[in-house]
Amino acid sequence: MLLPFLLLSNIYGGVSVSNSYTDNLYFIGEIEKGGNKSEVASFFGYSGLFDFVYSGNISMIDFNKDDIFFGNGLSLQKKFYLPGLGNKNYIYLEGYNFTTLAYKEYRLNEISAGDSLLVNLGRYLLFAGTQFDYANFDSDSIEDYIKGGLKSYLSLPMPYFYLVPGGSTGLMLYGNEMLPYYMFLLSMDFPLTGDFAFSVSGSYFKLSEPGDDYPLSDSLLLDPFFENEGILRNANLALSVTKSFAEENSLLNLYLELFKRDFFEIGSIRRNDSGFFVDIQFTHIINNNLSLFVGLNSIVNSSTIENLNYTKNSIDGGIQLIF
């Protein structure tokens, strides 16, 4: 009975050990304090009759046993091939759990489910799908919410690049509030050569203003761990560059993002942030099972709230084993 399952299966896994030093532990309420973050991460996957991926990590700040954090993610996907070349349908279910030892208010659970359709329209490629998200927080200062919507993208071949317009729309529900949202995206992908490619993209997200109750308290909106839950508008422009070096078995990735974010109102104060993020990652592949990586990243944030004007610079490195 298990023979078809075994014949079609493909199992893989890996583990990585990394360390990062930053001049600003902007993570869970600690701002303008440098420190060290160590992490051990693992992943396991199966691809066959269905696709399954588990990823988990354990991280520690400044080697303090009270500052230990656990993350666990699961992904289950079933792929269906439809009539016509390249036409596929994906049904997926994803879950994520974040657990802390000493900070109960930061524990959370997230579940996502959706259905995605990929259709080949000759020279064009259409992606359309639905997605539903549920977020559960242990903190009484933030509301659990359900978010559901529709999304679609169209890939248009142009001279030297692909033009990809797209967007999504839906509803966010928490408490007695039901807030519409929408997002627009436009990207240009340049697959120039086999070892060099880059893309330029821009997006704009807008969530309706709540009528009475806000999904989180004023104090949590100032906490870096929860700030993504309080964004009303988000506009960004990004550049992504990938360069491989075949002779050296190495890969270089560069990512640059300019952003502007508007948040829920804090009392009578409206928080507006702008800034940029840059990340450089270099990976050297020793063999099919072992690779080394090092990275540099920097964030500069300017805010209408004085103590949220900050910079953050980090350097990290590690080793990854794949089996």
Burial class for 142, CB neighbours closer than 10 Å (0-12, 13-18, 19+): buried
* pLDDT digit string, tens, across residues 92-133: 999 999 999 888 888 999 999 999 999 999 889 999 999 999
* Section 254-275 average pLDDT: 90
CA distance 252 to 238: 17
Residue from 170, 206, 203, 171 nearest 188 by CA: 203
CA distance 92 to 113: 6
Residue from 294, 138, 295 nearest 225 by CA: 138
CA distance 22 to 113: 35
Confidence check: pLDDT of 76 > 90: yes
* Section 54-72 average pLDDT: 93
What DSSP character marks residue 171?
E
Q: What is the pLDDT of residue 268?
A: 72
Measured CA angle at 199 (ends 194, 202), to 5 deg: 170
Q: What is the pLDDT of residue 2?
A: 41
Sorted by where each starts, the structural domains of the chain and their CATH numbers stand as: 3-322 (2.40.160.50)
Tokens coding 53 = 């991926």
CA distance 159 to 76: 37
Three-state DSSP state, 306: helix
**For a pLDDT cut of 70, what percent of the chain falls above it?**
95
Tokens coding 202 = 């821009």
Residue from 240, 247, 316 nearest 284 by CA: 247
Burial class for 98, CB neighbours closer than 10 Å (0-12, 13-18, 19+): middle
CA distance 5 to 289: 25
**Structure confidence at residue 31 as a pLDDT band (50, 70, 90):** low
* pLDDT digit string, tens, across residues 168-217: 999 999 888 899 999 999 999 999 888 999 999 999 999 998 876 677 77
CA distance 108 to 98: 5
Q: Does residue 16 contact residue 318 with C-beta atoms inside 8 Å?
A: yes
This prediction's pTM: 0.90
How many C-beta neighbours within 10 Å does residue 229 have?
20
Tokens coding 272 = 């507006």
